Structure 1
Amino acid sequence: MQSPKQPIGRPRENRVDAAIRAAVRELVPRVGYAGLTMDAIAAEAGIGKAAIYRRHTSRGELVFSVLVHGRKTRSLPDTGTLAGDLTALADLILGIFTDPVTAAATPGLLADLQQQPDIAARFQERFVAEERALISALLERARQRGELAAAADPVLVHAAVLGTAYAWLFLLAQPPTPALASRIAALGEAAARGH
């Protein structure tokens, strides 16, 4: 009987992973995504650059992993109305986009995703598909309550809510306001009703 083989190379160290994540979370709001370099991350984390490259093949892959690490699957409350559910969704999306690291990294990371299809696919699976499932569920609840006469297009509703939040915060550089989530929800509701 053969003994189990030892893994090749050194085992991953959790403290190094944690130091890399902490360095990225510290640097991105300070220097922005464009100013983030592997050298700066290594210096901030107090590790060698090779340790980063053993874990991450690119800046985009590294920042993506930091943004999703330890992230719990989100859920939305059933507020009892389509407007309330869409407001909760808009509030959730605005909360993600206004996180200091996400806010500083999102525009540059989205640009990098165009050049890195493997990370773009993970982004679709991890962020987009998760939000789309939440939207499909809330639209179905609204249909069952009689608020919608027919099944609504979750892709269109998602585009109305996510796209408006992104455009407001990043393209138009407007600050979030207390009424913003409900205003975005109204656009999502219009999309759901086909108006």
Structure 2
Amino acid sequence: MTVSITWPAFVEATDRMREATDALARLIADTLAVQFDGTAAYLVLEEDDDGDFMNLHSLLDADGRRLFEFGDDPAMLPALPQGSPLADAWVGLGPADTRTLFKAVQGLHQAGSLFDSLPSALPCDTSPGTPSACCCPPPRGPAAGTSAARTTRAWPAPTAHPRYATPTRFPLPIPPAPR
């Protein structure tokens, strides 16, 4: 019998995957922050009934006001500033295209990322029954609720979000493969 993996190799691979998903979540948050002049705080997602994919619902500011609503038609998000290092991180994908954001969120979902819920005290510009929100980076623990809708927090503290047009920090690079 040939052993194709060892326990330490598996642990190292899952650690790398977690680092990569955290980096992608940070890239999403940083990109949305720049696109919406530092006001984007919550990316609202809705999980389909089978749990196969996350649908983009809306983007809220820190006060729960809707900044952008995703629909069936592929609308465009604001463009990144010329020469933004964030644009380079998307390598061939247009970060202003909502389909790019959808692909990135699906990557997080398929990699097993857990999404957080909107803070219960947040007065939302959404109707009752609208899904919770998504915050980057995804939390490491179990999802903060059992509803089908999940979210990812754009900044560690929901009350303190950056207000900047050009980021002072950039997403972490995806770690290299072990040798």
- TM-score over 0.5 (shorter chain): no
Which protein has the bigger strand share?
A: 2
Which protein has the bigger helix share?
A: 1
Using the size of structure 1 for normalisation, the TM-score is: 0.24
Using the size of structure 2 for normalisation, the TM-score is: 0.26
Considering Cα pairs closer than 8 Å and 6+ residues apart, tell me whether 1 or 2 has the greater RCO: 2
Greater Rg by CA: 1
